[in-house]
Amino acid sequence: MEIKLTISAEQLTEGIKFYGETRADEKVVERINELDDILWDVCVDIDNLRVNLIDRPEASAKDILKAIDKLQRNINRTLPCLD
């Protein structure tokens, strides 16, 4: 059985901060690595959808592509602050 849960960005990033204590900061690194895995999977799934819709003539497919393009632009805009 698959259980789906609605979760907010605040819940995903809860506790992710600098503590200045080795063990606590190691837990933050683990949490960030878990988020990296999740975000990677999401990006791959969205990109696979984009590839499958590129040549579709339906208006709804084009709407999905526009939404994906907007998402990718927003992600790209945040990348400089992550460097």
Residues 51-81: tens digit of each pLDDT: 999 999 999 999 999 999 999 998 888 876 6
Q: Within 13 A of 15's CA, how many CA atoms are on the CB side?
A: 12
* More confident: 4 or 16: 16
Taking CA 30 as the corner, what is the angle to CA 25 and CA 35, rounded to the nearest 5 degrees?
Answer: 120
Q: What is the pLDDT of residue 63?
A: 97
pLDDT value at 49 more than 70:
yes
Task: State whether the Cα torsion 80-21-12-33 is positive or negative.
Answer: positive
Tokens of 25: 């900061």
